[in-house]
Amino acid sequence: MKKSIPTVPWRWGEKYKVTEFIQNNNQAILEIASYIKEEGKSPDDIVLNLSHYIRDNFFYPLNNIGNPSTSGSLLRYRFSLCKFHFKKSEDYIWGLPCETVNFGCGYCAETANLATSILIAIGIPNSWVVLGEIRRAKDNSLLGYHAWAECPYQGKQHVMETTVDEKDVNILSPTSSAYQRCSDWAIQNNIYYIPQSRYNESEYVGEGPLAGNMVFLMGMPAKRVLIMGFDRTVKEQRRKSRKIRSELNQEARIVTRLLLEAYRKG
């Protein structure tokens, strides 16, 4: 079901629709797309090569205690102490795909946006960023909110897990397995995905009950939202931003560790 395109609030006060984070016409993205396309002989080769490119060239940023880092700073016109300078820091941001390319790192939403931008620039159909939940298969407990890329490979849709950055690990998994709690893949790894919404460069599509708030929820600790509700969590965020960010990063650490272990097993 198509929904109105939400605004991403995580850009130092700048206003962007979520679809604007798919930069398939950006020059940096087009150059990468051209390189990946030249290296592949078939659409499947291209998707596989792109998965290797994302896995091998972008790492998940960590802070000094090993938790995922989602903070960012904007610096403009800093010449000296005697001249005008400006710096604004945020605890949680969404970097644009071209920025992710420049920095060589990004957390789930950033690398998923990058991978999908390249897929669309290459011309791979039915390529999306998907926002949703990661849950344990055994007890269905919520582990956290997450973003991943989705695209066709070997005749069916696959998850491309862009947070896994370990050499030689296959980061592609069929959605028929990754999205099903009772699949062999989910049971073996005790983890599965629940899509809530998806978007590309032109549309935002809702799939689950959280779709309307999913973009905003990406900056919230999932367990706190589950216990306290959306509105109360938003109020808590405004009063205790640092605590909310700490909980968010701790959840992300657990999710990324479990996803790495799952994709190591294959």
Find out whether 131 and 145 touch, Cβ atoms under 8 Å.
yes
Q: Is the pLDDT of residue 60 over 90?
A: no
Kindly tell me if the per-residue pLDDT of 134 is higher than 70.
Answer: yes
198: Cβ contacts below 8 Å, ≥ 6 apart? 128, 129, 130, 131, 150, 204, 205, 207
Range picked from 7-11, 28-32, 79-83 for highest mean pLDDT: 28-32
pLDDT in tens, 71-113: 888 777 666 666 667 778 888 899 999 999 999 999 999 999 9
Q: Which pLDDT band holds residue 212 (cuts at 50, 70, 90)?
A: very high
CA distances in angstroms from 90 to 58, 164, 217, listed in the order given: 22, 25, 16
Check whether 213 has a pLDDT greater than 80.
Answer: yes
How far is it, in rounded angstroms, from Cα 135 to Cα 77?
Answer: 44
What per-residue confidence (pLDDT) applies to 83?
65
b/e code 245-260 from CB counts within 10 Å (16+ = b): bebbbbbbbebbebbb
- Answer whether residue 54 shows pLDDT above 80: yes
Backbone angles phi, psi at 218, to 5 degrees: -60, -25
What band does 62 get if pLDDT is binned at 50, 70 and 90?
confident
Average pLDDT, the chain: 92
Q: Helix/strand/coil (H, E, C) string of 151-213?
A: EEECCEEEEECCCCCCCCCCCEEEHHHHCCCCCHHHHHHCCEEEEEEEECCCCEEECCCCHHH
What percent of the chain shows pLDDT beyond 90? 74
Q: Which of 18-27, 66-75, 160-169, 215-224 has the lowest mean pLDDT?
A: 66-75
Whole-number Å distance between alpha carbons of 79 and 38: 43
pLDDT the model gives residue 105: 92
Q: Using alpha carbons, list the distances in angstroms from residue 198 to 22, 76, 114, 127, 208.
A: 12, 33, 14, 10, 10
The pLDDT tens digits of the residues spanning 162-184 come to 999 999 999 999 999 999 999 99
